[in-house]
Amino acid sequence: MPHEEEGLHCLLKRLREQSLQVDFQNQRQMALGMALEPYLAPLTAQYLAPLEEEIELAEWYLFADYFPTDGHPSLVEQIRDNITDHVPEEERVWLDPVRHSYMDVLRITGTDSTTQPHRLDLQSMGDNQEFQVFHPISPEFQQGRVLLTRLIRGSSTTYLPGSPLVLSSAMGNTLLSFTHDLRRHLEFGTGNFALAEWPEFTKQYGYLLIWSLARLRGGAMAVADAQVIYWTETGDPFFYAIAIYAHHAFQVLAEGLEEWKNWEPQGPGHEQASHPSGDSEIRRWVFKAPSAKPTSYALAKITLTPTQLIVEGDSASRLDSLKHQLAATFGFSLHFMGETVIPPPHSPPHVDLLADHYVAPPVTVSAAEEAKMLASFLETVYLEWAEQPCPALDNETPRHVARDPQKRPHIATLINQMEEQDLGLQRTGQRAYDYGILRSHVGL
């Protein structure tokens, strides 16, 4: 390490120690809390944590940019005016360069690994200033990529302290766009149009670059998560988005669904072997992904029983689209009972900041998790079933029908039929709901 740069590293260590002084702890927490604010929100903290590079940038904001609110001098001023501890001259020469430094978004315009040390050619995306930095070149440092970092301008050269955060070109452009949005909001809110100068803006509000990165990472993670494809343990598509309708128009619905384009009839499910009579009254259609291959997988399924229509899809958006299509086709022939659009529990997908596109790995859902999901869903659907008008009972409530001795057999037959055609039985071969609960609700 060159002697000059060694002084910078020693000063950085001194600044960190000074920030840890007991009487400065509140200010340290305020500064770091401000810089990392988006990550401290309870909901965000559950799935998104600051990267090491972001924590390092937040510390640099504390050391070089932050002005205490309790009357303390800045950390640089505290070191400069220190009369009790000796501060070597090789550290003092860095006080002004550190004080005048600011966070920046820099595009790599060239690299040269033949020099010792290696050379990086950088251009600020904020004001187009160009810099040459001598710094070890890692494989991530490729022309066109973007660095979120801070440059320290020494007496003879410009230094890149620590490890910069490297972004793809597209990520860098989005980061800058988000930051400009915040900048314009600040200018209109404060009336301080002096912030139009990039160095002045980032010196005072450089932490907004970290905020923009948090927004970028969270948005990218949401996009990637929305692309997750779920599979069962047997390799079939897992439909977590489900809606159930009650009806009393089996033939009308069956004929209408037969007319839907790109939907194919499907054979019996798991329950055929143990309940063949129930399966003969069930019709199914599947919608497959467009593909030249005959083995393209299904994206949605519709199951029609004598009393229910069940819609299953691979995403909440697909289910919503199908619900609109059903409403447009069948109108009041369907009575909505309930839906679930909560994806199975899974780890948030990793977002590669060096990539322009997000590819989420597939998630396999265990049979136990599927059974748990179906049980919870059906429990919610049937919670007030006894008190709701039922199309299969001429829109009378099941509880009211059960009070009539002449109609009681109808309600008993209906519950038996629902039990034989249970959604869990169709999907896994095991019932997902205890229909004895419905019998007790209506007094059978």
User: According to the model, what pLDDT value does residue 2 have?
Assistant: 53
Indicate whether 254 and 269 sit together in one domain. Answer: yes
Residue 197: pLDDT band by 50, 70, 90 thresholds? confident
Determine the Cα–Cα distance for residues 329 and 161; give it in Å rounded to an integer. 64
| Among 208, 223, 238, residue at a domain's last position | 223
> What's the pLDDT tens digit per position in 104-150?
999 999 999 888 888 999 999 999 999 999 888 888 999 999 999 99
Domain that holds residue 79: 3-223
Determine the Cα–Cα distance for residues 304 and 322; give it in Å rounded to an integer. 14
User: According to the model, what pLDDT value does residue 277 have?
Assistant: 41
| Among 203, 223, 243, residue at a domain's last position | 223
Choice between 344 and 270, residue whose per-residue pLDDT is larger: 344
The answer to whether the CB of 363 falls within 8 A of the CB of 344 is: yes
422 has pLDDT over 60: yes
Within 10 angstroms of residue 412's Cβ, the number of other Cβ atoms is: 15
User: According to the model, what pLDDT value does residue 278 have?
Assistant: 46
272 has pLDDT over 50: no
Indicate whether 133 and 109 sit together in one domain. Answer: yes
Choice between 308 and 191, residue whose per-residue pLDDT is larger: 308
Q: 315: which strand partners?
A: none
Indicate whether 247 and 328 sit together in one domain. Answer: yes
234 has pLDDT over 50: yes
> What's the pLDDT tens digit per position in 35-67?
999 999 988 888 899 999 999 999 999 999 999
Q: Could you give the number of structural domains in the chain?
A: 2
Indicate whether 158 and 50 sit together in one domain. Answer: yes
Indicate whether 172 and 234 sit together in one domain. Answer: no
Region 243-258 average pLDDT? 94
Indicate whether 217 and 362 sit together in one domain. Answer: no
Helix 198-205 crosses helix 207-226 at what angle (to 10 degrees)?
A: 80
Determine the Cα–Cα distance for residues 370 and 364; give it in Å rounded to an integer. 10
Region 262-289 average pLDDT? 69
| Among 223, 248, 278, residue at a domain's last position | 223
Indicate whether 137 and 253 sit together in one domain. Answer: no
Residues 6+ apart with CB under 8 A from 6: 90
196 has pLDDT over 80: no
The answer to whether the CB of 130 falls within 8 A of the CB of 123 is: yes
Indicate whether 275 and 381 sit together in one domain. Answer: yes
Residue 275: pLDDT band by 50, 70, 90 thresholds? very low
Choice between 190 and 367, residue whose per-residue pLDDT is larger: 367
* CATH code of the domain in which 47 resides: 2.40.50.140
Indicate whether 247 and 129 sit together in one domain. Answer: no
> Distances from the Cα of 442 to the Cαs of 221, 388, 410, 433, in angstroms?
47, 12, 12, 16
Give percent of the chain with pLDDT exceeding 90. Answer: 65
Tokens of residue 376, six digits: 């919870």
Q: What is the mean pLDDT of the chain?
A: 89
Indicate whether 88 and 139 sit together in one domain. Answer: yes
CB-count exposure of residue 199 (10 Å: 0-12, 13-18, 19+): middle
> What's the pLDDT tens digit per position in 139-181?
899 999 999 999 999 878 899 988 899 999 999 999 999 999 9
Indicate whether 187 and 278 sit together in one domain. Answer: no
Indicate whether 69 and 143 sit together in one domain. Answer: yes
CB-count exposure of residue 119 (10 Å: 0-12, 13-18, 19+): middle
357 has pLDDT over 90: no
